[in-house]
Chain A
Amino acid sequence: MSTHRVKIYAGFERLWHWLQALFIITLMITGFEIHGSYTLFGYENAVRIHNIVAWAFIVLIVFAIFWHVTTSAWRQYMPTGERSIITQGRYYAFGIFKGDEHPYRKTELSKLNPLQKMTYLGFKILIVPVMVSTGLLYVFYNSWESSWPGGLAWVAIIHAFGAFFLVIFLIVHVYMTSTGETPLSNVSAMVTGYEDIEDAPEEEPATV
């Protein structure tokens, strides 16, 4: 089967992805120190780094929203129906061990498989907004806590809860990069922007 080299990820998309990765990992490392899980930078430095990176992340999110809207890239994340998600799930649970083909081909117009669409949409419309809003409430708690005594505990616990899900996301996400054509082809695509994609299947030769 022949392939052709296609640009999958735009420049901004890659920059956004890797900055986001850097920010989230930094926020994780400092965040869990603030949570009390370990001592690394010292609490004061951890808070300082966490706050600065969080603000940088918010700036990045604003750029990313602008990019998604203006390029219509948001369409990539539109759900494709229950059946397709089950098909993709079944592939990861069974087919992948037997060397089956990926059920959905990556194309320039549809670069995310149904499970990715669902996961990333959840990340964008649930996890990130929850983390940003609880994070802002956490930073500015002095201005509202008098009207909601004890509210900080909820804000902090939800924020930490989200952080644990991000750790889980990160583990699975990094692992899943290895499920491309070759173990490094997905990572390489996110670095270079290009990936070798199968040509659209030609007509099957008639069987005898």
Chain B
Amino acid sequence: MTSRGRSTQRVLILLALVAAVLFVVAAGAVGQTETVAQEEEPVLISEQPVPESAERSEPTADHSKFEVLQGPFATGPDLTTACLSCHTEAAKQVQGTTHWTWDNHYGEGVGKTTQINNFCIGIQSNEPRCTSCHTGYGWTDNSYDFTVEENVDCVSCHDTTGTYKKFPTAAGHPAYEPTDFGGNTWNPPDLAMIAQNVGKTSNETCGACHFNGGGGAGVKHGDLNPDLLTASKDLDVHMSADGAGMVCSDCHEGNNHQINGSSVYMSPSDDSGVDLPLDDGDQATCQSCHGTQPMDSDKLNEHTDKVACQTCHIPTLARGETYTKTWWDWSTAGEFAPDGAKITTKDENGNVDYTTIKGNFEWDRDFVPDYVWFNGIVDVTIAGDPVVLNDNGVMELNAYSGSYDDEHSRIYPVKAFRGIQPIDEGNNTVALPHLFGKDDAAYWKSFDWNTAIAAGMTVAGSPYESNTSVPYSGEVGWMETVFYEPATHMVAPSGDAVECQSCHSRDGVLASLGGFYLPGRDGGALDWLMWGLVALTLIVVIVHGVMRVVGSNRRSS
């Protein structure tokens, strides 16, 4: 072999080595990044062990030993009076919270009190039914005095016996004598026994209202329903016993009865990250425990500037047994059976899909949420607001603000609850019907929308306290609406987070979310032209080849 041949051989061996190293490095990188997809322990910034339920702090007082709690108590307010004899400031604290005021813009009267939705539309004129979930007693109409301390309902949150239940139509009171409702007899709870066993809030006490919003299990929220009380890890990594075993107040903690976290005005992101005491006042965010860059992959962490944690980690809503309501058409209400009886029908899954008093419903479970740009600002609707339809001819009753260009916005998952509800056709304004009541004007008594809306509008409006009424033309119309419920609970194990191609594909779940370039979804507008050029090239090459063969055959023959 010549010296030149040997040196070539040496170079070749060297280069083969380089290539081998290159591939080993690449293979190593593949192996390393693959672990991202595997299920792993949640990444918490704090290395402190999460306390077991049994290790949670025990109370320093045994309430059964207090003389003032021996009872008997005739009413809820009587019990509260006993509580306040020791906890002198508790009622004042509660009265400063949204649990009491149902007013999210403090002093502006905008919140549950006046906000319009597309479930039972509005509270005003319907109080005794709606306020069965108020942390108080006796809110029957708009003359309610929000300063009466004994009307604060302590045990709705602090009952540990599971026996305290507020009667569905008694303005927040429990039944004081056996009463029938909805085919069941509601027996009066033993208030003295309950008082002697008060303690911390629990998933059961919070869930009594928050799992049953809209009047039944899971009706309103796709991510909050009684399935959470017995959640599997797949349903909710935080609240399941075999997951973190957490309770609501572990995230929704607070001082002075002021609880962190609001479903009306919530944070799609939390740049302050892990919270220390007295930090940013918002300790209910994902970032409060997990930090702002919790994932193993840089590429995934880079997504957090535009995508909320919930978007990937809550792949579907209502993943348990319980269905959630997705559609409510009020315009079909008021149909009776030939014998004049009210109608109730159920769908194939056993969910009510029509009632005379409420119209048509649709239900769903384990479904992909809608996704919106959201910066935390919600534009709510109150009675008398003008009807404003979006491009799809639908009014967004709580329009979410946000866009790609806004640094505070994230892509956020919502349950988009849709329905058809009444409007004041003459004034083209949002109507508030008086549904519930024993008076003839109530829709559920008269089945006359005109009188119901007239009655509702006379007490509707904002601010709540000033009793301004809203004009009503006397003409009933209908509009399709959507109401967004933010999804933030029922976080799935990390291995169940949505796949990349759920969004990064031509017809993925973000197919209709505009304002930005999404790889895998966008950029295909001129593909037909480019593939056409590729095809043309192939044709030219094939024709050229055939002509060469033909030419060579001709020459040889």
Contacts and interface: CB of A to CB of B under 8 A. Distances in A.
A43 B37 CA distance: 13
A48 B30 contact: yes
Given A11-B15, A47-B299, A42 B500 contact: yes
B501 A44 contact: yes
A74 interface: no
Interface stretch (B366-374, B426-434, B522-530): B522-530
Interface in A18-54: 19, 34-37, 39, 42-44, 47-49, 52-53
Contacts of B404: 149
A157 B527 CA distance: 10
A35 B520 contact: yes
Contacts of A137: none
Nearest to B527: A37
Interface string B518-551: 0111111001001101100110010011011011
A27 to B, nearest CB: 13
Contacts of B44: none
A125 interface: no
Given A47-B299, A171-B537, A171-B541, A160 B523 contact: yes
A50 to B, nearest CB: 11
Given A43-B504, A56-B26, A19 B544 contact: no
A147 interface: no
Contacts of B43: none
Given A43-B504, A99-B555, A175 B517 contact: no
Contact of A11 (B8, B405, B551, B552): B8
A42 B499 contact: yes
B148 interface: no
B513 to A, nearest CB: 15
B180 interface: no
B30 to A, nearest CB: 6
A39 B500 CA distance: 12
B548 A164 contact: no
A36 B504 contact: yes
Interface residues of B, number: 53
B537 A164 contact: no
Contacts of A175: 541, 544-545
A191 interface: no
Contact of B500 (A43, A52, A59): A43
A20 to B, nearest CB: 12
A153 to B, nearest CB: 4
A39 B533 contact: no
B545 to A, nearest CB: 7
B305 interface: yes
B530 A164 contact: yes
Contacts of A52: 26, 29-30
B22 interface: yes
A179 B545 CA distance: 9
Given A53-B26, A156-B517, A44 B533 contact: no
B523 A153 contact: yes
Nearest to A15: B15
A19 B15 CA distance: 11
B389 interface: no
Nearest to A92: B544
Contacts of A150: 516-517
B19 A19 contact: yes
A179 B521 CA distance: 40
A167 B538 CA distance: 10
B506 interface: yes
Interface string A91-118: 0100011110000000000000000000
B505 interface: yes
- Interface-centre pick from B33, B521, B544 (highest chain A CB count, 10 A): B544
Contacts of B548: 96-97, 179
Contacts of B504: 34, 36, 43
Nearest to A14: B12
A138 B533 CA distance: 25
Contact of A35 (B30, B517, B523): B523
A80 to B, nearest CB: 23
B302 interface: yes
Given A10-B8, A175-B545, 12 more contacts: A11-B8, A12-B12, A36-B520, A37-B524, A42-B500, A53-B26, A56-B22, A96-B548, A97-B547, A150-B516, A152-B517, A156-B522
13 contacts: A11-B15, A12-B15, A15-B12, A34-B520, A36-B522, A36-B524, A42-B501, A48-B34, A63-B15, A97-B550, A160-B523, A172-B537, A172-B541
Interface of A: 10-12, 15, 19, 34-37, 39, 42-44, 47-49, 52-53, 55-56, 59-60, 63, 92, 96-99, 138, 142, 146, 149-150, 152-153, 156-157, 160-161, 164, 167-168, 171-172, 175, 178-179
